[in-house]
Structure 1
Amino acid sequence: MDYLPGFLAAYSILLVAVLSPGPAVAMLLGLGLSRGRGTALIASVGIAAGSSTIAVVTLLGMGLVLQQAAWAITLMRMIGAAYLLWLAIGAFRKALNPPEVTPAEMPPLSAPRAFLTGYLLQVTNPKAIVFWIAIGAVGATNGASASVTLLFLLGAFAISLAGHGFYAIALSAAPVRRAYQRARRGVEVTLGMLFTLFAFKLATSRG
């Protein structure tokens, strides 16, 4: 129980971050509408796994290396921006040539591809790396045993999965699908613009 205050502090920060709309939420919206709830849910597992990967690296001390090495942060930022631009291009292409079938009729992505889509988005996001460095500063697992650290990581994974899973379910609901059918060009253009904005912010951010 000595670690409970640190756990609660770290989890509170994580929960706010997960529920704050960002690139992951925009991606889940696109997948949920065009590929279905199952695909979006699998992608949310990938996002949670990506977050856990960053957490493990940070807790092992690599976060400090990335924090001190400006070139490493810059490299991750450029990779993340390129990936977001790739997602933006895909959204714009859908807006220019929308499929004749409804979103519900489109075949879902394979489970590995959906998982990888979410995973890559998260692990190439330098903001997520900086966030986990900040979480490390809370000291939730300082001096903790391997079992306590594992417990913390499992809790963090559960929070990320629950938050992004909620978005995956909500954004793939039938009313949202019907609204998409009426304005799918506008939705795809908006998603493309959001991904482009996120990519620009990543590429030009100094933090």
Structure 2
Amino acid sequence: MEYLPGVLAAYSIQLVAVLSPGPAVAMLLGVALSRGRASALFASLGVSFGALTIAALTLAGVGLLMQQTAWAVSALRLIGAAYLLWLAYGSFRKAAHPPTVAPAEMPPLSVTKAFTVGYLMQVTNPKAIVFWIAIASVGATDGAPAPIVALFLLGAFAMSLIGHAAYALALSASPVRALYHRARRGIEATLGTLFTLFAFKLATARS
């Protein structure tokens, strides 16, 4: 019970992170609308494991180390920015040359590819990293035994999975897919623009 206030405070910060759209949600939008619900759900699973990776490393002290190590922060920013630009290129290419098939007829991503896309997005997601550094600063599990830390991480994973899976389900709904089919060029161009802006913001952010 002594850790409960800190855990609740940490989960409150994470809830804000999950509910506020960012690069991961933009990625899920593209996957859900173009590749279908199953691909989006596996991508959301990848996002959740990416969040779990960041959480575990941050609680282990890597977040504090990265705050104090300029080259590590710079390397992470460049990797994340490059990945976001790659996603932007894919979106702009779809906007310029949309396939002739309807979105519902496009083949889904393989489980491995969908999971990997979600995982790579999240582990290089500056928004997720910043939020987890903020969560670590609360000190919810400082001095806690391993079972408490494990339960905390499990709860964080569950919150991320539920939130991002909900996004995947909502964004792959038939009305949304119908809208996407009618306005595919504009939607893909918007996604490409968002990914480009996220990449620019990440690459030019101060350490």
Same fold by TM-score greater than 0.5: yes
Please say if 1:206 is aligned against 2:206.
yes
Q: 1:62 offset after TM fit, Å?
A: 1.6
% of aligned pairs identical? Answer: 71
User: Which digits, 9 at most, give the CA deviation of each residue in 1:69-91, with x for residues without a partner?
Assistant: 01111110110000000000000
Please say if 1:13 is aligned against 2:13.
yes
Partner AA of 2:183 in structure 1 = A
TM-score, length basis structure 1: 0.98
Q: 1:57 offset after TM fit, Å?
A: 0.8
Moved over 6 A (4+): none
Cross-structure match for 1:101: 101
Cross-structure match for 1:144: 144
Q: 1:110 offset after TM fit, Å?
A: 0.5
Q: Distance in 2 between matches of 1:126 and 1:23?
A: 9
Q: 1:125 offset after TM fit, Å?
A: 2.2
Contact 2:23 2:125 in 1 (8 A): no
Q: Distance in 1 between matches of 2:126 and 2:90?
A: 22
Cross-structure match for 1:88: 88
1:121-136 equivalent positions in 2, closer than 5 A: 121-136=121-136
Summarize the Cα distance change of 1:67–1:54 in structure 2 as closer, same or farther, 3 Å threshold.
same
The runs of 5 or more residues in structure 2 that have no matched partner are none
Q: 1:129 offset after TM fit, Å?
A: 2.2
Q: 1:4 offset after TM fit, Å?
A: 1.1
Q: Distance in 2 between matches of 1:106 and 1:112?
A: 17
Q: Distance in 1 between matches of 2:200 and 2:159?
A: 28
Contact 1:73 1:126 in 2 (8 A): no
1:109-128 equivalent positions in 2, closer than 5 A: 109-128=109-128
Contact 1:36 1:108 in 2 (8 A): yes
TM-score, length basis structure 2: 0.98
1:1-207 equivalent positions in 2, closer than 5 A: 1-207=1-207
Q: Distance in 2 between matches of 1:97 and 1:127?
A: 31
Q: 1:157 offset after TM fit, Å?
A: 0.3
